[in-house]
Amino acid sequence: MFASNRISAFDVILPRPIPFKGQVLNQIAAWMLNATKDICPNWLISVPAPNVSIGKKCDPFKIEMVVRGNLTGHAWRTYSSGKRVLCGAAMPEGMKENDYFPTPIITPSTKAEEGHDEDISPAEIIEKGLATETEWNALSNYALQLFARGKEIAAKQGLILVDTKYEFGKLNGEIVLMDEIHTPDSSRYFYADGFEERQAKGERQKQLSKEFVREWLIENNFMGKEGQTVPAMSDEWIQTISNRYIELYEKIIGEKFVPVELSDEETERLVVKELKNLEI
């Protein structure tokens, strides 16, 4: 799997790449997959290049397991519209934006091959045959355990893992964790320092995630809807996004990010060499 520097929001690929985004995502995902492999088997075999991972090909479940610890983003937009149930999960009355849920909730979505992913409830997942009841129970159990581990890791670095998504597949009858996990493209993080004070004052939370890109698009009248145009992305804004991705890497991994620029030919050589070593 090659992690590109492209960035998407509202299921639309934005026109300009973000420097080192692929390396950031790939290396965070690999680190997190290794840190959670005792909970659930995963697809990763090796990382031969900064933006490349080699792994097992699985038969994917066509659902995304979205776990939410706080009332933020899509959940908040749903809540503020007056609804108190999201994907079959109840949301208590009297909550403010970014408040913690009493316990994390799972709000799955479909994994659309074309167009937008859609909210779906566990009952609908089972009814549509996207997973059996036994599989759903296993998936939700894995998702909650992975989220708990992600929160522990984040807390050690002064962060709060707010929400995230996991994707699973099956390999030889076994459920396997796939794709990236706990990256800024699949997760939202808040800074723990000052969180309670900001909540008490009704202030915006300081966060590290891709949500700031979505917010910028919304402010510029783009939500991926028909007839809307992606706003122009200046060089300064591109660099800001890149810096935010690198900041999250350094914050959550606890190490200095070392950017590596390789040509396509150099990357290919590394991948071919690793495939030979693995006898694949």
- Centroid of chain to Cα 10: 14
Helix (H, G, I), strand (E, B) or coil at 54: strand
Helix axis angle for 133-156 and 21-36, nearest 10°, is 110
Q: DSSP per residue over 161-194, as a string?
A: EEEEEEEEEEETTEEEEES--SSTTTEEEEESTT
Q: What is the pLDDT of residues 35-55, one digit of tens each?
A: 999 999 999 999 999 999 999
Q: Which residues of 194-226 are buried (b: 16+ CB within 10 A; e: fewer)?
A: ebeebbeeeeebebbbbbebbebbeeeebeeee
Amino acid type, 78 = T
Q: Which of 253, 254, 170, 162 is nearest to 209 (CA)?
A: 162
Residue 116 is predicted with a pLDDT of: 63
Amino acid type, 74 = H
Backbone angles phi, psi at 271, to 5 degrees: -65, -45
Residue 26 is predicted with a pLDDT of: 96
Q: How far is 273 from 279, CA to CA, in rounded Å?
A: 10
Backbone angles phi, psi at 144, to 5 degrees: -70, -35
Q: What's the predicted TM-score (pTM) here?
A: 0.89
The CATH T-level fold of domain 58-253 is: D-amino Acid Aminotransferase; Chain A, domain 1 (3.30.470)
Q: How far is 139 from 169, CA to CA, in rounded Å?
A: 10
pLDDT under 50: residue ranges of the chain: none
Q: How far is 116 from 150, CA to CA, in rounded Å?
A: 27
Compute how many other C-beta atoms are within 10 angstroms of the C-beta atom of residue 102.
Answer: 10
Q: Which of 243, 67, 211 is nearest to 140 (CA)?
A: 67
The residue with tokens 């998407």 is 8
Helix (H, G, I), strand (E, B) or coil at 79: helix
Contact 213, 18 (CB under 8 A): no
